[in-house]
Amino acid sequence: MIPLSFAQRRLWFMAQLEGPSTTYNNPVVLRLTGALDREALAAAFRDVLERHEVLRTVFPEHGGEPYQRVLPADGTGFELTVADVAPEERRAAVARVLRHTFDLSAGIPVKAWLFAEGRDEHVLVVLVHHIAWDGWSAGPLARDLSAAYGARCAGRAPEWEPLPVQYADYTLWQRELLGDEDDPDGVLAQQLEYWRTALAGVPEELGLPFDRPRPAAPSYRGHQVELDVPADVHARLAGVARERRMSLFMVLQAAFAVTLSRLGAGTDVPIGSAVAGRTDRDLRGLVGLFVNTLVIRGDLSGDPTFADVLDRVREANLDAFEHQDLPFERLVEEVAPVRSLARHPLFQVMLTLQNTGQAELTLDGLTVSGASGGEPTAKFDLDVSAAEVFDPAGAPAGLRGALTAAADLFDAPTAARIADTWTRVLAQVADTPHARVRDLEILDPAERHRLLAEWNDTALDVPREPVVRRFEALAARTPDAVALIAGDDEVTYGELEARANRLAGLLRAEGAAAESVVGLCLPRGAEMVAAIVAVWKTGAAYVPLDQAHPAERLEYMLADSGARIVVGRGDAAFALAGVRVLDLGDPQVMERLAALPATRWGRPCGPTRAPT
């Protein structure tokens, strides 16, 4: 029995765990305009399945372990399903077939449908499960399908060189290459040791500007935003890469780490990076899952410049490339300390620069163009994919791509803001790579105005009448309304006004007036509030005192503020030289207060606002 590759094994495990799902389906939707030979196209698909064993492989179990079983070319059950649809029904028809789920144990991992809108208008939908497919595979599939269609239109079988190896050969070779984990000199053991060190302490979850909490299980729904980096920025970024002897991808990765850090992700930003995994030339013409994922940590600690970040990212990438043979699936088993179905292990953000070349399907007599497919799928919190565009002379003409954000976590406008922020950061670092990361502008002018002006416009028209006068007016209008609650006590405005008036009269008798200061050494509660209002009524200011502070501290505060009267109760009614203390618990003070009127006294010049 042929085992699964490590990458296939993880996808098989996810399929068992999640059940029927479209999460790992890879759709290709193309419009074919012109005279199409349907029989030739169906035969060409069968030719391609015969050529690439992985497309006619099923994954049954034996003793709880999955294995690869390659079906004979005439036993796959594959058919090119053809249906006539009205143009207005085409979108719904495509959406329906894109919801197809594969039974990996019994059916091959590829399906194809042909929708005819008219004699010379067709839409081709090809669906391949990720267990038999990666981004590179589009090239070999398009090339071989084009050749086979041309041959079948001419009435003959395709004549192509046999493939040197098949995917099953790669699976066995991979296990032989990695060796035994118990062999300290083996590739597996050595690369595991490197990654244990490189990923020690990696954040379990990256802090991003989520719009809502992470659900227990992801829905994999996504929002997709187009990315468009202008040609001049592309050219300057390429120049930065050349000057620093690094790839453009490393520059993009460093800028992405900076963007996420500035958006709240911290200074340790792990980003997933896909590598083709086709280190042997014989693998380059195969359809199949060879891609491997590396985890590159962006180190933004210590107030670095962008140039510093570039150096760190370059070193991290070069070290990772030297240890790229260890399958990510094996790395997760070994390194990820905490596993969760809610998030991707080790990293939640993916960045890919497509450099596998454009896969072009060329069918004789037909014009082939892209057509709209289904809704975007989000396998990560954020997934950025971009490709370089060049003009006819080979000069940089821009970067094009898309950012896909998990709809479970982000609203569509948030996804758009993250994409805009990254392109804004790219433009800045292209011009000033030695700028400090903290100085990079992440807001556009409209966002800055909204943040600093609109959201911060808290000015209110406040009456110039003193606060105490407004309180008195409110107490007169609603004397029975509850003014404050302190523990189990409720005090109405009328009661609070009466207490404050009596205490204000006593304070005035002791000399409190405008430009003077009264110390208040009372616990939090109704009595403290009444004392504050009473001081305002005299026109004086108050200074709060905490009886838990050392006596020396309290004496300093009184001397510094110039207070000559202190209101306290019980233990708080301490004796201080040169200060008149009014103990509200002293019977004599209580008697004096009771004898004073509950109505307000005169109209001293009080503060126009409450002290802060």
DSSP string, 167-200: HHHHHHHHHHHH--TT-TTSHHHHHHHHHHHHTT
On average, the pLDDT of the chain sits at 91
Q: Can you spell out the DSSP letters for 585-603?
A: TSHHHHHHHHHS-SS----
Q: In the CATH hierarchy, which top-level class contains the domain 467-595? A: alpha beta
How confident is residue 358, by pLDDT bands cut at 50, 70 and 90? Answer: low
Residue matched to tokens 């790579």: 433
> Does the pLDDT of residue 250 top 80, yes or no?
yes
How far is CA 501 from its chain centroid?
58
Domain spans in the chain, listed from the N-terminal domain onward: 1-172, 179-207+218-278+299-355+376-450, 467-595
Residue matched to tokens 């000069």: 395
Instruction: Check residue 453 and give its pLDDT.
Output: 87
- Position with higher pLDDT, 340 vs 246: 246
DSSP-assigned letter for residue 56: G
- Contacts of 139 by beta carbon, 8 Å cutoff, 6+ apart: 356, 357, 359
* CATH topology match: 1-172 vs 179-207+218-278+299-355+376-450: yes
How far is CA 3 from its chain centroid?
36
User: What does the pLDDT look like over 416-455, one tens digit per residue?
Assistant: 999 999 999 999 999 999 999 999 999 988 888 888 888 8
> Does the pLDDT of residue 555 top 90, yes or no?
no
User: What does the pLDDT look like over 78-120, one tens digit per residue?
Assistant: 999 999 999 999 999 999 999 999 999 999 999 999 999 989 9
The answer to whether domain 179-207+218-278+299-355+376-450 has CATH 1.10.3720.10 is: no
> Does the pLDDT of residue 479 top 90, yes or no?
yes
Task: Report pTM.
Answer: 0.74
User: What does the pLDDT look like over 252-267, one tens digit per residue?
Assistant: 999 999 999 999 999 9
Instruction: Check residue 610 and give its pLDDT.
Output: 43
User: What does the pLDDT look like over 12-48, one tens digit per residue?
Assistant: 998 888 888 898 999 999 999 999 999 999 999 999 9
Tokens of 166: 């098949």
β pairing state of 222-229 and 396-406: antiparallel
Instruction: Check residue 608 and give its pLDDT.
Output: 42
DSSP-assigned letter for residue 68: B
Alpha-carbon distances of 17 from 52, 217, 372, rounded to whole Å: 28, 12, 30
> Does the pLDDT of residue 415 top 90, yes or no?
yes
Give the DSSP H or E segment for 427. Answer: helix 412-431
How far apart (Å, rounded) are the C-alpha atoms in residues 348 and 145?
Answer: 35
Instruction: Check residue 606 and give its pLDDT.
Output: 47
β pairing state of 580-583 and 565-568: parallel
Tokens of 187: 């590739």
Q: Which of 102-106, 290-294, 359-363, 381-385 has the lowest mean pLDDT?
A: 359-363
Q: Can you spell out the DSSP letters for 88-99?
A: GGHHHHHHHHTT
Instruction: Check residue 147 and give its pLDDT.
Output: 96
User: What does the pLDDT look like over 487-498, one tens digit per residue?
Assistant: 888 999 999 999
Return the percentage of the chain with pLDDT > 70, whole number: 96
Instruction: Check residue 612 and give its pLDDT.
Output: 38
How far apart (Å, rounded) are the C-alpha atoms in residues 504 and 514?
Answer: 12
Cα radius of gyration (the chain): 37
Which CATH superfamily, name and number, covers 1-172? Chloramphenicol acetyltransferase-like domain (3.30.559.10)
> Please, what's the b/e burial string for 335-345 (b: 16 or more CB within 10 A of its CB; e: otherwise)?
beeeeeeebbb
Phi, psi of 363 (to 5 degrees): -110, 125
How far apart (Å, rounded) are the C-alpha atoms in residues 130 and 21?
Answer: 12
How far apart (Å, rounded) are the C-alpha atoms in residues 376 and 100?
Answer: 15
- Phi-psi category of residue 285: left, alpha or beta, with phi > 0 → left and psi -120 to 50 → alpha: alpha
Instruction: Check residue 574 and give its pLDDT.
Output: 60
Q: Where would I find the beta strands (DSSP E) of 101-211? A: 110-118, 121-129
> Does the pLDDT of residue 609 top 50, yes or no?
no
Whether residue 258 contacts residue 251, with contact meaning beta carbons closer than 8 Å, is answered with no
Q: What is the identity of the amino acid at 11?
A: L
Q: What is the identity of the amino acid at 413?
A: P
Whether residue 26 contacts residue 128, with contact meaning beta carbons closer than 8 Å, is answered with yes
How confident is residue 462, by pLDDT bands cut at 50, 70 and 90? Answer: confident
Instruction: Check residue 485 and give its pLDDT.
Output: 92
- Give mean pLDDT, residues 306-311: 98
Q: CA-based diameter of the chain, in Å?
A: 119
SS3 content of the chain, % helix, strand, coil (to 5): 40, 20, 40
> Does the pLDDT of residue 142 top 80, yes or no?
yes
How far apart (Å, rounded) are the C-alpha atoms in residues 128 and 335?
Answer: 30
How far apart (Å, rounded) are the C-alpha atoms in residues 599 and 298?
Answer: 69
Minimal CA–CA distance to 355: which of 261, 262, 276? 276
Q: Where would I find the beta strands (DSSP E) of 355-458? A: 366-370, 382-390, 396-406
Cα atoms in the Cβ-side hemisphere of radius 13 Å centred on 461: 0
How confident is residue 605, by pLDDT bands cut at 50, 70 and 90? Answer: very low
Instruction: Check residue 576 and give its pLDDT.
Output: 65
> Does the pLDDT of residue 524 top 60, yes or no?
yes
- Position with higher pLDDT, 354 vs 483: 483
Residue matched to tokens 């509030």: 529
Tokens of 217: 């299980």
Alpha-carbon distances of 305 from 236, 238, 265, 302, 316, rounded to whole Å: 18, 19, 17, 9, 17
- Position with higher pLDDT, 77 vs 461: 77
- Measured in residues, the chain has a length of 612
